[in-house]
Structure 1
Amino acid sequence: MDILEGFLHIPGTSSLLVAVLLLLFFYLHSSVGSDRGKGEEPPGPKALPILGNLLLLNPKKPYESLCELSKRYGSVFTIHLGPKKVVVLAGYKTVKQALVNHAEEFGDRDVTPIFYDMNKGHGILFSNGDNWKEMRRFALSNMRDFGMGKRRSEEKIIEEARHLMEVFEKWQGTAFDTAQPVNYAVSNIICGIVYGSRFEYEDPKFKAMVDRANENIRLVGSPSVQLYNFFPWLKPWLKDVVHVMKNVGENIKEMKGYIKNLQDTLNPQDSRGFVDSFLIRQQNTEKSGEKDSLFHDENLVMCLANLFGAGTDTTGTTLRWGLLLMAKNPHVQARVQEELDRVIGSRQPMVEDRKSLAYTDAVIHEIQRVANIAPFGLPHTTSCDVHFQGFFIKKGTTVIPLLTSVLKDESEWEKPDTFHPEHFLDEQGHFVRRDAFLPFSAGRRVCLGESLARMEIFLFFTSLLQRFRFTPPPGISEDELDLTAVLGITLNPSPHKLCAVTRC
């Protein structure tokens, strides 16, 4: 109802409604029968004019509403978000079949109005075709060159974990909000890869960039910005959209300043990071006279924005959920710390220790499953007409791979709604992989930085748990800690404070 109420309070709504009703009438009548004979479309609830099925969705937990609808309409069903028809894929088997077995057909990105405004079809996350293929290939290759998932990255993460622990220790066991220091630490890892250097947590420009990026993650998932995606003509009346674009503009300005500094000191024989590699490739294409090269300034800036935003929010959010869940489940935290003490002792945890830390590894995987930080993934679109599980899905149809339905699939998980690390342990206590563990999505659009994120989560989490015991603030019991998620592009924990008590 929040979305509807927001719509009805926009000035001039009555005349806009009449105009849209007329457009909808002509659209529906012109499209009747256009796909007849190609097959049956996925079923779904009857849609209202203009609003579609928006009234069926809980604006704070729309992913849960979609899971409930899948129980009625099946694992492939249609829903209308305003006038936009969307196909939802629910459950592990269906999502995997679409994204992996039919990767080409379901592999394009649906670029909503807000993401087009932010990226203009450039970069990695919100582009398609040759631009996406070239930018993703180049980014993946160069991030690997600069240590993604390798020893070089491990050293940077361990160094950054030490800086983060110094910040935590300054609170001397009193309650504080972990959000900013965790986000700054995680952001420094991606900054090291793209710029070749880290930033101090008190650097005002760095802090502002991270804070704006995180604010946009929240705002883009807000009802008003979603309303803009459904009805783009409402943009002049939606302040959150204006604020998002202001944040984007300011961050782009700062990024261009960093690029300029790197450009002025560029040595083609000694690439310091992703930006240097891009600039060298750009110079080489210009020298060779290559026309229509995709290595232009707009792609560089948007690739940086994508890597910076995604590389900060997802890992930082997962770590914050992890610390909160440890404070919420002290018996689990104690067992993790017992294993760390027994296997590692006082030395620095390393990536190679993962295979000897079965319970800790299981806890980290369960944190990711329960945190469910990307319940929708990012929307896809079909690249061609598709016949899938007996249904016909037209080319250009928006598709939501409902990752929350995978991570909480009742046929795959013994206790889908409970924090239960034993999901990833066998009877002997050995770690076991689960096929339905897809927090990074799957297929062509699987998370570009999965290996880096996995390394970060493991090293930050084990380093912090080795040094600190996390507890609720004084006067608040474990049961009173709020696990309510705040919806943005990702699911963040509600604002909260924790105590990081140094272990003796």
Structure 2
Amino acid sequence: MVKEALVTQAENFVDRPYSAISDRFYSGNSGGLFMSNGEIWKTQRRFALSTLRTFGLGKSIIEQSIREEVQHLQEEIEKEKGEPFSISGLFNNAVSNIICQLVMRKRFDYNDNNFKILLKYLSEAFTLEGSIWGLLYESFPGVMKHMPGPHNKIFSSFGFLVDFITQEIKRHKKDLDHSSPRDYIDAFLIEMEKHRDSDLGFTETNLALCSLDLFMAGTETTSTTLQWALIYMIKHPEIQKKVQAEIDRVVGQNRQPTMADRPNLPYTDAVIHEIQRMGNIIPLNGLRVAAKDTVLGGYFIPKGTSLMPMLTSVLFDKTEWETPETFNPRHFLDGEGKFVKREALLPFSAGKPHSPHSYT
């Protein structure tokens, strides 16, 4: 039923319902990439996908950026000299820098104070939005917006993040070359001039919101997945040894792996996919709303009804997975040890990307 809603009947459930937090975030504007609907969302989605691909998404250009960032990450880890430390901050730094390359064509040193503050507020906004305070605000916005409490930090953190992106937009405008856009921000600024009289979200305000959406969802989802990868490798040393042996055999220890190595790393590929399945980092996906009266799985869904796809029910479905509650890379391997794709793997979502992590 989840696949039917997200893929087969995607057009009927592509919009987002009203959210009090998002409404205050976007201040009645176009809604960025995550919470916009209708023609604005379709236009911004198409533009984001084509632009990000132009600047390297899914190409060797971004692969090179990732490999360079991995080198920086490795150097930071080596500075710890084998002593215990928290890896989450470094993962956030590394992943965010990849998004920075696409959005603003720059990377930040891990010790850059503004970069540290940016990631701090990014994490804080995410954590509080998913806390009981965020739920209370969604349920009673008329009261909660006048009440003191941690929920107010959600909006102050978001405000800082918007200001950060806005300053970057101003810097881009000073040396914008229409014949040679450098990144997503440049491309958006150029596109704005073509849509002066349209109402499709091509404004500076929405540029800041769309850029921030890419950061917010892309950073947290990828960083969290990497943390789960470490946890499962630590918990399953026998699997870790097999992955290392395959990498040593195919890649060796004198160079970094590339995407060209992937077909020759079936076991490693299977482990990565199993990490995504077991990590289950977006268990409830995001709320959708029926665009019209619809029948879903034999049930009548009236127009305007909100639905929440439960990805957990798919990732741990006993009819889809041999051992759903166990970390088992064999879920993605055939009898000959070759990698096998599984339709039931929905670690983020499915269908048309409405969430920013689908772009990143």
With normalisation by structure 1, the TM-score equals 0.69
Q: Specify the SS of the correspondent of 1:392.
A: strand
Structure in which a larger fraction of residues adopt strand:
1
What one-letter code is carried by the residue in structure 2 that aligns with 1:109?
A: R
CA distance, structure 2, for counterparts of residue 433 and residue 238 of structure 1: 49
Tell me how many residue pairs correspond in the alignment: 356
Structure 1: runs of 5+ lacking an equivalent: 1-93, 453-504
Which residue of 1 is the match for residue 258 of structure 2? 350
CA distance, structure 2, for counterparts of residue 243 and residue 310 of structure 1: 18
Q: Specify the SS of the correspondent of 1:177.
A: coil
What one-letter code is carried by the residue in structure 1 that aligns with 2:108?
A: F
Q: Where in structure 2 are the equivalents of 1:28-427 lying within 5 Å?
A: 94-119=1-26, 120=28, 121-235=30-144, 236-237=146-147, 239-286=149-196, 290-292=197-199, 294-346=201-253, 347-427=255-335
Q: Give yes or no for contact 1:228–1:238 (8 Å, CA) kept in 2.
A: no
CA distance, structure 2, for counterparts of residue 447 and residue 429 of structure 1: 33
Q: Higher mean Cα deviation, 356-365 or 276-285? A: 276-285
Q: Specify the SS of the correspondent of 1:331.
A: helix
Q: How far did residue 385 of structure 1 move?
A: 1.2
CA distance, structure 1, for counterparts of residue 88 and residue 222 of structure 2: 12
CA distance, structure 2, for counterparts of residue 446 and residue 210 of structure 1: 23
Q: Give yes or no for contact 2:91–2:223 (8 Å, CA) kept in 1.
A: yes
Q: Give yes or no for contact 2:122–2:157 (8 Å, CA) kept in 1.
A: yes
Which residue of 2 is the match for residue 433 of structure 1? 341
Distance change (3 Å), C-alpha of 1:277 and 1:367: same
What one-letter code is carried by the residue in structure 1 that aligns with 2:179?
A: Q
What one-letter code is carried by the residue in structure 2 that aligns with 1:272?
A: R
Q: Give yes or no for contact 1:362–1:424 (8 Å, CA) kept in 2.
A: yes
Q: Give yes or no for contact 1:140–1:448 (8 Å, CA) kept in 2.
A: no
CA distance, structure 2, for counterparts of residue 282 and residue 378 of structure 1: 29
What one-letter code is carried by the residue in structure 2 that aligns with 1:321?
A: W
Distance change (3 Å), C-alpha of 1:292 and 1:431: closer
Q: Give yes or no for contact 1:385–1:394 (8 Å, CA) kept in 2.
A: yes
CA distance, structure 2, for counterparts of residue 170 and residue 297 of structure 1: 41
Q: Give yes or no for contact 2:33–2:356 (8 Å, CA) kept in 1.
A: no
Q: Give yes or no for contact 1:321–1:367 (8 Å, CA) kept in 2.
A: yes
1:443 to 344, 351, 354: 351
CA distance, structure 1, for counterparts of residue 148 and residue 326 of structure 2: 38
CA distance, structure 1, for counterparts of residue 319 and residue 148 of structure 2: 42
What one-letter code is carried by the residue in structure 1 that aligns with 2:216?
A: G
Q: Give yes or no for contact 1:381–1:398 (8 Å, CA) kept in 2.
A: yes
Q: Higher mean Cα deviation, 233-242 or 416-425? A: 233-242
CA distance, structure 1, for counterparts of residue 167 and residue 261 of structure 2: 40
What one-letter code is carried by the residue in structure 2 that aligns with 1:207?
A: K
CA distance, structure 2, for counterparts of residue 104 and residue 293 of structure 1: 19
Q: Specify the SS of the correspondent of 2:99.
A: helix
CA distance, structure 2, for counterparts of residue 110 and residue 356 of structure 1: 44
Distance change (3 Å), C-alpha of 1:446 and 1:283: closer
Q: Give yes or no for contact 2:6–2:13 (8 Å, CA) kept in 1.
A: yes
Q: Give yes or no for contact 1:224–1:238 (8 Å, CA) kept in 2.
A: no
Q: How far did residue 285 of structure 1 move?
A: 3.3
Q: Specify the SS of the correspondent of 1:401.
A: coil
Which residue of 2 is the match for residue 41 of structure 1? none
Q: How far did residue 250 of structure 1 move?
A: 0.9
Q: Higher mean Cα deviation, 175-184 or 290-299? A: 290-299
Q: Give yes or no for contact 1:191–1:198 (8 Å, CA) kept in 2.
A: yes
Cα offsets for 1:340-386 (capped at 9, x unmatched): 00111022100111110011000000000000000011111111111
Structure 2: runs of 5+ lacking an equivalent: none
Distance change (3 Å), C-alpha of 1:155 and 1:193: same
CA distance, structure 2, for counterparts of residue 325 and residue 389 of structure 1: 35
Q: Higher mean Cα deviation, 154-163 or 417-426? A: 417-426
Q: How far did residue 204 of structure 1 move?
A: 0.9
Q: Specify the SS of the correspondent of 1:319.
A: helix
Q: Specify the SS of the correspondent of 1:314.
A: helix
Q: How far did residue 427 of structure 1 move?
A: 1.7
Distance change (3 Å), C-alpha of 1:212 and 1:363: same
Q: How far did residue 110 of structure 1 move?
A: 2.2
Q: How far did residue 421 of structure 1 move?
A: 0.9
Q: Specify the SS of the correspondent of 2:295.
A: strand
Q: Give yes or no for contact 2:39–2:200 (8 Å, CA) kept in 1.
A: no
What one-letter code is carried by the residue in structure 2 that aligns with 1:315?
A: T
Distance change (3 Å), C-alpha of 1:291 and 1:424: closer
Q: Specify the SS of the correspondent of 1:109.
A: coil
What one-letter code is carried by the residue in structure 2 that aligns with 1:145?
A: T
CA distance, structure 2, for counterparts of residue 445 and residue 266 of structure 1: 29
Q: Specify the SS of the correspondent of 1:104.
A: helix
Q: How far did residue 390 of structure 1 move?
A: 2.5
Q: Give yes or no for contact 2:228–2:279 (8 Å, CA) kept in 1.
A: yes
Cα offsets for 1:113-137 (capped at 9, x unmatched): 1122112342110110111111111
Cα offsets for 1:447-480 (capped at 9, x unmatched): 555475xxxxxxxxxxxxxxxxxxxxxxxxxxxx
What one-letter code is carried by the residue in structure 2 that aligns with 1:424?
A: F
CA distance, structure 2, for counterparts of residue 241 and residue 449 of structure 1: 24
What one-letter code is carried by the residue in structure 2 that aligns with 1:277?
A: A
Q: Specify the SS of the correspondent of 1:387.
A: strand
Q: Specify the SS of the correspondent of 2:352.
A: helix
CA distance, structure 1, for counterparts of residue 42 and residue 48 of structure 2: 10
Distance change (3 Å), C-alpha of 1:300 and 1:273: same
CA distance, structure 2, for counterparts of residue 238 and residue 130 of structure 1: 37
CA distance, structure 1, for counterparts of residue 198 and residue 49 of structure 2: 24
Q: How far did residue 241 of structure 1 move?
A: 2.2
What one-letter code is carried by the residue in structure 1 that aligns with 2:176?
A: L
Q: How far did residue 333 of structure 1 move?
A: 0.9
